[in-house]
Amino acid sequence: MKTNNYKSRLTFSLLFFFTLNIYAGYFPQSENWEISTPENQGVSSEKINKLLDISFSDDSTSAVVVIKNGKIIGEKYADGYNSSSHGTSWSMAKSYYAALIGISLDKGEIESLDENVSNYLDYFGDERSKITIRDLLDMSSGLDFPSHEHEKMFFQSDHLKYAKNVGVEKDTGVMFEYNNVNSMLLGDILFQATGKKADVLFEERILEPLSIKDYKLWKDENGNVMTYCCVDMSARDYSKIGLLFSRNGTWNDQEIISKEFIDETFKVVWETPNRWADYKRYYSLHWWVSKYDEESKIFNTSGKFGQFTFVDRENDLVVTRITKYNQQDSGSIQKWGIMKYLRWAGIENAISIGRKLIESGSIEPGTDVISPVTAEDGESYEFYLQYPEIIDSIADLSRN
């Protein structure tokens, strides 16, 4: 009797292990995702519904997609949106372009994260000469840090020219300061290391292998890739990039990014200041860390107005949430028109005035002004207030 019970338990254990490996090895094919019930992936529907309900209690939410073992186990869209609808990443893009640094490191085009930036950018051979690539990625470069975090760069015609002229404010490597210039400089490093612009590298090295075909990679009026901001795609496609990181940089048995670089990314380096919740978050190599304890380690990309892809690598779990976005069919190169005169008005003022001009019909987005635009109905409020509850609900998906 004991022997039979042992054999039964062994058979069940082997079957369970085999089933998990099948799940862990699944990748979505082209644009198609396999849809699964939560229960078939070891998650209760009640927990999925709770996460969706909390997320959509904020009316700005346009889409939430939950991926477990590579399969969609939860998905919801606001009225007027569907699985093909674009959001704009805002600063989620930082994590994507940072991944290209990792790929160049893997290929030997960049020798080390601890190399001086001046090895690639000759204009860094001044007071900035001690700054390393790692300092840029960890947001600890010591470059001049104004209260607007260099978001004013977004309203310039030449973002790279702006970034090149930012000087040093403090010693490198001593303080976390979320500085958009750090990320804008990555594109120039990649160009000097590879001879290709960052958007081309992103397409060749990440988007094409992942079969992501419907997207925009924004550039400024001078054609500089905005490597600190602004990739447009669907929630499902953002989730593919999350799944790539959850799977240690491998996609369909092809190594896109080395596991070593993913391991280096998914560490805690800096504890970050609280912005909109009494909740500890951390930062490492252009990724945020929203939970890091024995229960789970949840890393995430993060973008203005409430764009997120959360990755729990240990539990092969990916959750993407994006907000309402006015998708344009006018190309991917910024054009400011009369809006250029607002560039020094301050970020919030420029956004507010720009929205009013659009609402009044004085300017038409996609014609007079071409740029990623999040309208007021896509700006998060409740989601930020509920952030601790959101993270706990994501962690709860992996609890027994």
pLDDT per residue as tens, the chain (400 positions)? 334 443 444 444 444 444 444 445 799 987 789 999 999 999 999 999 999 999 999 999 999 999 999 999 999 999 999 999 999 999 999 999 999 999 999 999 999 999 999 999 999 999 999 999 999 999 999 999 998 899 999 999 999 999 999 999 999 999 999 999 999 999 999 999 999 999 999 999 999 999 999 999 999 999 999 999 999 999 999 999 999 999 999 999 999 999 999 999 999 999 998 776 678 899 999 999 999 999 999 999 999 999 999 999 999 999 999 999 988 788 899 998 888 777 777 777 888 888 888 888 888 888 888 999 898 999 999 999 999 999 999 999 999 7
Cα(74)–Cα(159) distance, integer angstroms: 38
Question: In CATH, which of 3.40.50.720, 1.10.10.10, 3.30.930.10, 3.40.710.10 is domain 45-335+370-396?
Answer: 3.40.710.10
Query: Looking at residue 207, what DSSP letter applies?
Result: I
Which one-letter amino acid corresponds to residue 198? A
- Among 182, 379, 397, 378, smallest CA distance to 310 is for 397
DSSP, residue by residue, 112-140: -TTSBGGGT-GGGSSTTTT-BHHHHHTT-
What pLDDT is recorded for position 276? 65
Scored b (16 or more CB within 10 A) or e, 225-257 reads bbbbbbbbbbbbbbbbbbbbbbbbbbbeeeebb
Who contacts 110 (Cβ-Cβ below 8 Å, separation ≥6)?
Answer: 101, 104, 120, 133, 189, 193
Cα(40)–Cα(64) distance, integer angstroms: 20
Phi and psi, residue 279, nearest 5°: -150, 130
What pLDDT is recorded for position 274? 77
β-strands 216-217, 71-77: how paired? unpaired
Q: What burial class does residue 77 get, using C-beta atoms within 10 Å of its C-beta: 0-12 exposed, 13-18 middle, 19+ buried?
A: middle
Residue 307, beta-bridge partner list: 303
Quick one: how far is CA 7 from the chain centroid? Answer: 46
Which residue blocks in 128-268 are alpha helix, DSSP H?
133-137, 159-164, 180-194, 198-202, 235-246, 259-265
Which one-letter amino acid corresponds to residue 67? I
First-to-last alpha carbon distance for the chain, in angstroms, is 29
CA-only gyration radius of the chain, Å: 22
What pLDDT is recorded for position 341? 76
Phi and psi, residue 309, nearest 5°: -125, 120
In sequence order, what E strands does the chain have?
61-68, 71-77, 86-88, 216-217, 231-234, 250-251, 254-255, 270-272, 281-284, 287-292, 297-303, 307-312, 317-323
> Which structure tokens are listed for 82?
């569907």
What pLDDT is recorded for position 4? 47
Domain ranges of the chain: 45-335+370-396
Query: Looking at residue 256, what DSSP letter applies?
Result: S
> Which structure tokens are listed for 141?
């470069």
Give the C-alpha distances (Å, rounded to integers) separating 148 from 81, 130, 257, 308, 382: 32, 25, 33, 21, 23
CB neighbourhood size of 123 (10 A): 13
Cα(390)–Cα(328) distance, integer angstroms: 30
Cα(60)–Cα(325) distance, integer angstroms: 9
What pLDDT is recorded for position 303? 97
What's the pTM value of the predicted model, to 2 decimals? 0.92
